[in-house]
Structure 1
Amino acid sequence: MRIGVSNDNYPEKRTIIVDSGMEYINFKNKNLYSYINLVNMKFFRQSKIFLFKPVISSPKRDVDVFHVFNEIAITDRKWVATFETELPRILPPKSGNKDENRAKLQRLSSALTANNCLALIALSGAAYKMEMKLFRDSPELSQTIRDKMVVMHPPQKLYTPVRASRKSATPIHFVFIGKDFYRKGGGEIVRAFDELLTENKIQASQVKVTLIGDLKKTGNYALGKYQDEPTFASETEAMIARHGDIYEHVPSMPNDRVMTLLQKADVGLLPTWAETYGFSVLEMQSCGCPVITTNVRALPEINPIEAGWQVTHELNDDCDYSVSSAQERDRLRRKTIDQLKVIITDIVEKPELITQKANAAIARIRDEHDMEAYQIKLRSLYNQK
């Protein structure tokens, strides 16, 4: 079977290009909207349009089904979409009021309800909830879309079949991975360890922390217009330098080295402010490395408390945190740091928790993210009449 894709980036490779029994044809350079977006974004400063309109020039390059990620396919061929937020995906206007997108939503919704749209694959239960909320004012349309919806968490290769008990004499090794260092919670992690060490609640000899991320990535879209002052980043870097005996920091690391590192580490760190899914959590779990996450979007689904640890805050209707002022930003940060301190202290005092949660994480990857089961589900969607 030939599957047409609109790109072959990381999301497509994780959720669509997953079956060696399929032939995948990349239409990135034959997507009309690739060129429309290029012109609109470069010359008119307009937002990206998440549409895919293939140009098929040769019958020999025909496809059986198009499968796109976060896009709507404008075609008379059969198509499927996987999405992590909502469809149609329309970036919020500068006002932040999504209601202004209502006319665009109604105009594009006909493509979702057309017979050649075989399925809408929500990457998580959170994405499913957001999609249903999007059309809650249109009951008939909502039901048609609901009938096409299926939740399919992405597959994940298992790297470690079982986690052995750790050697108690060695420092507990925590690993943070996040190119967007501050949005992913790097600043809060550094402050939590700084306070624990300063308060003598843990000793430097008990922990080791690897930070993989760009310290220059200070922007955080979850904070909106209430971004941190430059001093927040400079203070974070000073804390890392002050406790250089526990930290190893690198701006980036090749994926194969990351996976090797995770198989030797003890605990993963992702106390993120915002996350559309959390693929890195699956990678950590597959290496027998249980993770400390927040509770935004899909994270509670893929990191239940039996398999990891959660920093929890109140969520809005989009399963996100609402930051409506600098005071609210600081309040959420303080609560995150306090919860991180409790979790880290608990892990140091009861390191046997690491093995228990690691093996629970491995079991959930094996049971809930199995590659073969995922492939079978995709094939059944593609073969619908």
Structure 2
Amino acid sequence: MFVPFNKLRAKLDGFTLMQPFDGSDLVHVVNRIPFGARRMICSFESHIPRQFGLPSDAILTKMMLKEITSNRCRRLVGMSHFAMRTALAMHEGTPAYDVIKAKMMVQHPNVELGQKGDRLKGDDASSLVLTFVGGHFVRKGGCVAVRIAEKALEQGLPIHVNVISSLQAGESVWSDPTDPDFLKPYTDLLSLPNVTHFAGLPNAEAREIMGKSHFTLLPTFEDTFGFSAIESMAEYTPVIATNVCALPEVIYPGRNGHLLHLERDEMGEWVRPDKSERHTEAYTQIYRDTIEMLADEAVEYLKTVIGKPDILAAMRADARYTAEEMFSADVAGKRWDNLYERVSRESTQTPAVCDPVLDRSSPESPAYLFEGKPAGTR
């Protein structure tokens, strides 16, 4: 058990405090640093430690850094290669860099595989169902999803869009434009005849809808990973997403999904004005323009697969194959168990260093899965 300090203040999200007299020999935490742990593995989505506005010279920041550079911290596990790049860039040029890099590896998240088989087996693809899942409506790409629906109506395309979202947006979401008039034109589209909006659903129900969809949509502007993508593939459903952050590590275009194009920097993030400018009209207009661009690109792609059941059946098989080979909880569980056993035997009197063979990182792309294999091979 840990103490959730982030409930008191968001800036305190980067650490937790182990209960007194906790007898654990090894603690594995995600996105937090456990003060008081004898031996730890820390997984992270992007930055480690998570500072959330805390200055680099703050006492708490220094305490968290001391923990992850100590011998008690045995591994730093990025959820993606994007996460590892981000974390290493954060510490580049500092005394901590070499210590942090030596104990860093990549292990992608995992997911329970759906057990119902391909729900669209035998479907003729004469009309398409797309599903967007994301609480952060703007950041995750919900605006793009509803514009796809509107453009489909205008062009007479047989496309229906499900939106599963609590519609969080605006000032409270760190990357959204803050213009109070920005959101309404997009939320108004939730009433279109080819859009169904769910304000929220239990995970099992959301995955059932994903499994009955031809594609899920994740045209996100920034995402540390994009967990809905692997849940979708676990239900046989390919993903249409943007080519930013960790998503190219998940989606191989033409096989298990399709990538929409945003201009990226060397880290893999979307190139745009700094978030400190998000109150400006220029920042807001870039979002509007980019939403239109992504929606247009997605519609043009969808036109190529409407009425093409063989193409979609192959993509669905490849999506499931990706989930089985890269993201299966059963497969990942064995890797974690092996890591736990080894780390629990390591002495905290010596520096932690990843074993280049036993701590081998997850691959940077699913391309290796499909090399030399025909589409739809499982």
Task: Give TM-score, length-normalised by structure 1.
Answer: 0.77
- Structure 1 residues not aligned, in runs of 5+: 1-26, 94-99
Q: CA deviation at 1:207?
A: 1.4
**1:275 correspondence with 2:239:** no
Q: Counterparts of 1:194-213 in structure 2 under 5 Å?
A: 194-198=150-154, 200=155, 202-203=156-157, 206-213=158-165
Q: Distance in 2 between matches of 1:344 and 1:161?
A: 28
Aligned length: 331
Q: Distance in 1 between matches of 2:97 and 2:163?
A: 44
Q: CA deviation at 1:125?
A: 0.5
Q: Distance in 1 between matches of 2:313 and 2:19?
A: 52
**1:51 correspondence with 2:15:** yes
**Same amino acid, percent of matched pairs:** 21
Equivalent of 2:282 in 327, 341, 353: 327
Three-state SS of the structure 1 residue aligned to 2:113 is coil
Provide Cα deviations, 1:216-251, integer angstroms capped at 9, x if missing partner. Answer: 644563536x42332x3322233333x32x111121
**Structure 1 residue aligned with 2:35:** 74
How has the CA–CA distance of structure 1 residues 196 and 260 changed in structure 2, closer, same or farther, with 3 Å as cutoff? closer
Equivalent of 2:178 in 227, 233, 236: 227
How has the CA–CA distance of structure 1 residues 350 and 228 changed in structure 2, closer, same or farther, with 3 Å as cutoff? same
Provide Cα deviations, 1:114-144, integer angstroms capped at 9, x if missing partner. Answer: 2221111111101100111111112x53222
Q: Counterparts of 1:330-349 in structure 2 under 5 Å?
A: 330-349=285-304
Is the contact made by 2:149 and 2:159 (CA closer than 8 Å) also made in structure 1? no
How has the CA–CA distance of structure 1 residues 110 and 238 changed in structure 2, closer, same or farther, with 3 Å as cutoff? closer
Q: CA deviation at 1:328?
A: 4.2
Q: CA deviation at 1:382?
A: 2.0
**1:188 correspondence with 2:140:** no
**Structure 1 residue aligned with 2:338:** 380
Q: Distance in 1 between matches of 2:130 and 2:13?
A: 39
Three-state SS of the structure 2 residue aligned to 1:223 is coil
Is the contact made by 2:136 and 2:173 (CA closer than 8 Å) also made in structure 1? no
How has the CA–CA distance of structure 1 residues 256 and 165 changed in structure 2, closer, same or farther, with 3 Å as cutoff? closer
**Structure 2 residue aligned with 1:308:** 257
Q: CA deviation at 1:161?
A: 5.2
Three-state SS of the structure 2 residue aligned to 1:249 is strand
How has the CA–CA distance of structure 1 residues 164 and 378 changed in structure 2, closer, same or farther, with 3 Å as cutoff? same
Is the contact made by 1:178 and 1:184 (CA closer than 8 Å) also made in structure 2? yes
Q: Distance in 2 between matches of 1:68 and 1:309?
A: 33
Is the contact made by 1:113 and 1:144 (CA closer than 8 Å) also made in structure 2? yes
Q: CA deviation at 1:379?
A: 2.2
Q: Which amino acid aligns with 2:160?
A: K
How has the CA–CA distance of structure 1 residues 78 and 72 changed in structure 2, closer, same or farther, with 3 Å as cutoff? same
Q: Counterparts of 1:90-105 in structure 2 under 5 Å?
A: 90-92=51-53, 100-102=55-57, 105=61
Equivalent of 2:133 in 165, 169, 177: 177
Equivalent of 1:133 in 67, 86, 89: 89
How has the CA–CA distance of structure 1 residues 216 and 156 changed in structure 2, closer, same or farther, with 3 Å as cutoff? closer
How has the CA–CA distance of structure 1 residues 110 and 62 changed in structure 2, closer, same or farther, with 3 Å as cutoff? same
Q: CA deviation at 1:337?
A: 2.5
Q: CA deviation at 1:365?
A: 0.9
Higher relative contact order (CA 8 A, sep 6+): 2
How has the CA–CA distance of structure 1 residues 348 and 210 changed in structure 2, closer, same or farther, with 3 Å as cutoff? same
